[in-house]
Structure 1
């Protein structure tokens, strides 16, 4: 035998041995022990309940703002724990970003991780930490793992930071204003460096907004201390507030604030006590004495009067009186006193930002809003019983607004939308016919075309300008003649009652420059027409005028109505309902090309290929293996002398071509204007973002047969069974990018040469070895066991060889598909 042919086989021996040992470098679920004790738990970077902790079962997905520890007690005993990260210990861990290393959390938890290539199986690191985005080592700055018989490297990343909130308040309300901290948590990690802004609140204390700067790899701590008249300026996360600061200019005024203690869903707003002061005004941090006093407020409204109210309109009228009384008492409160203890706004320089920076403008806007709210709360308390009356109004309005409502109202404008129908009707005429002496009558029938006009639908407008009801409705009414309905509406027929039905009697309060300009109904449900004892319900849509529809409260309610698909939709007169953008998985873009067949557009990206992260350019690939039917169409494009026959053993139009050599497979692809895929192209498309190389590990049932035709559902069925041999393509589930049978059915030729030793792999679009005479086969076939279907596994054959388990699919340059798509 030629030594050049023997050398690859000899070099292949250690590679095969290593591949067989690959399983020893992985963990399986039985290695994780539940209920075992971890001693010296306080020495870890994770905060556990006590010095002795009990191990848990790994559960996916990993939760954000949670740190997980995998502790090794022995070669086959691993313990799993979760808890909060200890800030100082956390920032000293070595971090490895999973996304940058093209690994998933579920996958890497089952890998043994090493500090050196010299280590053997079971000599992996004892403690490894995880979160949803990173792997951490407390000991080494370089981690390695074994996969597919190769050592692969985890590259260390810049350490993420942590943002934590410390407070003794049991009912602390934390609102992140520029981050994604989950409700109810007091830590955010891993966190990118930059400015973080939070709003803090708790019952019966003045809210405030604070900002801090997280530096790379550090921990930013917000020590929450609520401002009070008995304290100095507080609320800073790191440093004492600057001595004199003016808030940046803002283009928006703050006309109203939510009453202290009211629910966010009530929609009740109280005119700001200093509504005339723009939010761009300077915020004083110190001030002299004031000549005003804090005498009790005077108002003609009492709690008994509020409790005695019966209707929503009466309540609103009395509330307006009360609000005017309160405004008269505003100047009785010392406004400078508030600025002495409330924390001053931080300057842009102290945060390392410019005043025009988006993050700083966001901070300033929210600071001013929260400061006004806090000032209102403080003044309410200073005004004595006024706060209690506010709360009584809030409770009364909430109860009355929750009731459904019906408004009998006549439309102020009626617009008919008519439909014209052309019909043909017979017209009869009689004439005398004389024949000899006998006379008789004959009927002459002719046809006449008649145009009939009917009312198709209605546009009705309700309410006068600036009235409580302002809405229009367009639709039809079943069960009653539309023509008759229009006549009764136009004539003002007293027997016809038009009723607007509302979900509840809750209007929106509209303010302009701090003043209440109107209350408008907007929660319309349906329109009814009552005639005698009969009620006819219209089918159509309500439309609100723009000055009502643009209010935030209304916008949110309309959005909820669209999500619930209400039958009587309400829309704004200025815009249509938003259209959802449907996002698909990367590459899940299928094109049915007239001559090249059905292909999937594979976008550019990167993945871990044969132990190295490589980048890929976009391309197109057949969604199925080339079928016998499509193969005949390819050959039909050629002169008879250039064709070659389909030698498939298992016949069927939708079955893949078999018994085809590498040369003939590539020839067929080139006839189409494409080529066989490189191994990297084939694997990148087949894995579709998966790191495991198989599709079924993410399924709860882990069913190989869901995705693949393989030995268990084909070869082992026996030759007398219809399932024996390759099946029709696309009978199993596709991968996330729309490709079928990438595992099993028939193994597929690729363009690459096969050589046992890999000297180098290109960083971009790898093209295989320069050496070697065999060609790489991928995917396994109907004759293979499940473990041979992994898409990271490679097989090889002489390009002159053919078999009933070998087929192919083609790839194409992306521009060739897109430019010629038809």
Structure 2
């Protein structure tokens, strides 16, 4: 995951190939995904969930894929059982309801230390320049990006995300959790095997993913100055959103899920472990012992190469960034 705006100067150039349009047509022709909502203890509705069918997915990227990182290999195939996944990322409004019900205080608001970092307080956000830094007093409530309750919640640590899904479980009596890495990549790919979920062309992503693009460059210029538009690599399409977008603003994928790539990166329930060690039989650490968790989906501030399906990154569980949020999963 790229938790800060890209600093690369090279832009991505690729001829349009029509694959995004074909995927949109296929999604429209596919049977509608089953959506449902659980009821919270106070009678209010929980997040909208989509039933994701069981299947198999090839995790990772081949050596030949442009932009590939070592953490994306070796490629291997796994089975994924049927499960439910949030139709969208958790919104500010949904997270605010949790805070009102429980009085929860996030890691950013408590200035919780981050391992191997000094002077960590608030959230890691762009402050007066393209390069982010820790900003005292910033949190999911306000971190320098204009948002309302329809936008995805951000500046959320893994601890905060885990607290939210645990509350959902208690409030509904259902088995809510954070999705596994395999579930995340399965949901991102939605049957695709190309570098990007929508095909081979990064510029086709503006129909599906809010990433660094024409609107992002305009936002960077207005917020951080002319130099940012020189340094900010982006796609050559326009998703219409400079920073975070209200959830479900763009097209859904073949599973009926929105924003599986872009908008905000999403915490995984899995402790981060290299694929090679997983394949050798090593098990991820238990929740109490895990220090760093996987991040998937990438964000509004990420250049096209970081929006590929196989991208996986890690962050300490107390980290909170201006472009990291969450999506819920639930056992069926």
TM-score of the pair, normalised by structure 1? 0.26
Residue 253 of structure 2 corresponds to 735
- Structure 2: gaps (5+ residues): 1-13, 19-27, 40-44, 61-74, 110-139, 170-175, 224-239
Bigger relative CO (Cα 8 Å, ≥ 6 apart): 2
- Structure number with greater Rg is 1
- Structure 1: gaps (5+ residues): 1-27, 30-58, 61-581, 815-822
Q: Specify the SS of the correspondent of 2:300.
A: coil
Mapping of residues 58-137 of structure 1, within 5 Å? none
Over 3 Å counting, the alpha-carbon distance change for 1:769 and 1:812 in structure 2 is same
Mapping of residues 382-397 of structure 1, within 5 Å? none
How many residue pairs get aligned? The number is 232
Residue 186 of structure 2 corresponds to 684
Q: 2:48 aligns with which of 591, 598, 611?
A: 598
Residue 633 of structure 1 corresponds to 97
Deviations, residues 251-298 of structure 1 (Å, cap 9, x unaligned):
xxxxxxxxxxxxxxxxxxxxxxxxxxxxxxxxxxxxxxxxxxxxxxxx
1:619 deviation in Å?
A: 0.9
Q: Specify the SS of the correspondent of 2:177.
A: coil
Q: Does the aligned pair in 2 maintain the 1:648–1:658 contact within 8 Å?
A: no
Mapping of residues 528-543 of structure 1, within 5 Å? none
Residue 25 of structure 2 corresponds to none
Mapping of residues 536-685 of structure 1, within 5 Å? 584-585=30-31, 588-594=33-39, 595-610=45-60, 611-638=75-102, 640=103, 642=104, 644=106, 646-649=140-143, 650=145, 651-673=147-169, 674-685=176-187
- What's the C-alpha RMSD, in Å, of the aligned pairs? 3.3
1:762 deviation in Å?
A: 9.2
Q: Does the aligned pair in 2 maintain the 1:755–1:772 contact within 8 Å?
A: no
TM-score of the pair, normalised by structure 2? 0.61
1:705 deviation in Å?
A: 0.9
Q: Does the aligned pair in 1 maintain the 2:30–2:254 contact within 8 Å?
A: no
Q: CA–CA distance in 2 between the matches of 1:602 and 1:662?
A: 23
Mapping of residues 710-725 of structure 1, within 5 Å? 710-719=211-220, 720=222, 723-725=241-243
Over 3 Å counting, the alpha-carbon distance change for 1:740 and 1:797 in structure 2 is same
Q: Specify the SS of the correspondent of 1:784.
A: coil
1:709 deviation in Å?
A: 0.9
Q: CA–CA distance in 2 between the matches of 1:761 and 1:714?
A: 41
1:769 deviation in Å?
A: 6.5
Q: Does the aligned pair in 2 maintain the 1:678–1:768 contact within 8 Å?
A: no
Q: Specify the SS of the correspondent of 1:664.
A: helix
Q: CA–CA distance in 2 between the matches of 1:677 and 1:711?
A: 25
Q: Does the aligned pair in 2 maintain the 1:663–1:799 contact within 8 Å?
A: yes
Deviations, residues 391-447 of structure 1 (Å, cap 9, x unaligned):
xxxxxxxxxxxxxxxxxxxxxxxxxxxxxxxxxxxxxxxxxxxxxxxxxxxxxxxxx
Q: Specify the SS of the correspondent of 1:718.
A: helix
Mapping of residues 82-231 of structure 1, within 5 Å? none
More strand by share: 1
Residue 801 of structure 1 corresponds to 319
1:693 deviation in Å?
A: 4.9
Mapping of residues 409-420 of structure 1, within 5 Å? none
Deviations, residues 538-592 of structure 1 (Å, cap 9, x unaligned):
xxxxxxxxxxxxxxxxxxxxxxxxxxxxxxxxxxxxxxxxxxxx9844x822223
Q: 1:697 aligns with which of 183, 189, 199?
A: 199
Over 3 Å counting, the alpha-carbon distance change for 1:757 and 1:592 in structure 2 is closer
Over 3 Å counting, the alpha-carbon distance change for 1:598 and 1:648 in structure 2 is farther
Q: Specify the SS of the correspondent of 1:697.
A: coil
1:643 deviation in Å?
A: 5.2
Over 3 Å counting, the alpha-carbon distance change for 1:687 and 1:762 in structure 2 is farther
1:772 deviation in Å?
A: 6.5
1:621 deviation in Å?
A: 0.7
Q: Specify the SS of the correspondent of 1:783.
A: coil
